[in-house]
Amino acid sequence: MTGLTAIALTLAASSIAFVPTLGAQDSTSAAAPGVISGRVTDTLGTAVSNVIVDIVSEGTAADSIRVQARDDGSFVVSKDASHSPFRISARAVGFTPLVAHHMKVDDGDTLRVTLRLLRSNVTLSQVNVKGTRGSALASRSITAADFNPKHYYDALMLLANARPKMLGDLDRCPPVPGAGDSVVVDKIFINGVRRDVPIPPKSKLDTQKTAMDFHVVKVPNTVSEGVVQVLERLMPGDIAEMRLVDCQSSDFDATRRNALYVVLKPGKKYR
């Protein structure tokens, strides 16, 4: 029987709570690498998707492992005991990053970890974006401080006028396979939840808005219908930050790219 350690990590304010339970250690076990088996949830226990988990040895930053948790928040990593102690960090859009230090796993042991992230509706903690006005980075992100919400009817009009490159750039990225001949943005996440699948049905409000709206927005064919309909329902005044993760964004694996990530202001909800 291999040893087993279970630890729950919770970020609440600035503290991290540990709840350890130790199992028996079999001295005859083969010297196989240790295993870190984890799951990422919010503080209510709901699985969090699009989580980047970094495991970095505290002796040398060169010894590091990066994985992306599955849609159910789970991840499994092999770790050599000689590289202990190490720290585990978890980051996801719409959540406060969590870092746990001085973690250890012995060869042949399994360390079970639950990472509980605290929701944050203010910043995009997944990726830090910096760029001067007019730069490539600045053209793929926008915050509430960058625009007057009274000037735009919805989020689609906002991006079409203020950040057109966030609706797709064929010069930078090729079309997404199976999404359309020229679609390069085919996903949208709001506070960490994907909203474009299934495509939201047209509501009576949407129909009325289309009939009365005198603000004509030319929708580029580089963005999918599902994303367009979500943007039409997003009010600019509700948005804290938006970011395009395109085909060249190295912080995400390929299945999470070509997507818009939206963080709403505190108290605001997607309708």
- Nearest Cα residue to 55 out of 46, 64, 44, 47: 64
3-state class of 74 per DSSP?
strand
What are the structural domains of the chain? 4-119 (2.60.40.1120), 138-264 (no CATH)
Q: Which of 97-111, 132-146, 214-228 is predicted most confidently?
A: 97-111
Q: Which amino acid is at 91?
A: R
pLDDT digits (tens, 9 = 90+) for 183-239: 899 999 998 889 988 766 654 444 444 433 434 556 678 888 889 889 988 999 999
Q: What is the pTM of this model?
A: 0.50
Neighbouring residues of 268: CB distance < 8 A, sequence distance ≥ 6: 121, 238
Per-residue confidence (pLDDT) for residue 170, from 0 to 100: 84
CA distance 241 to 163: 12
Across all residues in the chain, what is the average pLDDT? 75
Please, are residues 93 and 263 in contact by the beta-carbon 8 Å criterion?
yes
User: How far is Cα of residue 157 from the mean position of the Cα atoms in its chain?
Assistant: 24
CA distance 170 to 207: 30
φ/ψ of residue 75, rounded to 5: -155, 155
Please, are residues 258 and 248 in contact by the beta-carbon 8 Å criterion?
no
Lookup result for tokens 């350690």: 5
Q: Which amino acid is at 88?
A: I
Question: With bands split at pLDDT 50, 70 and 90, how would you rate the model's confidence at 154?
Answer: confident
CA distance 64 to 58: 9
Per-residue confidence (pLDDT) for residue 210, from 0 to 100: 41
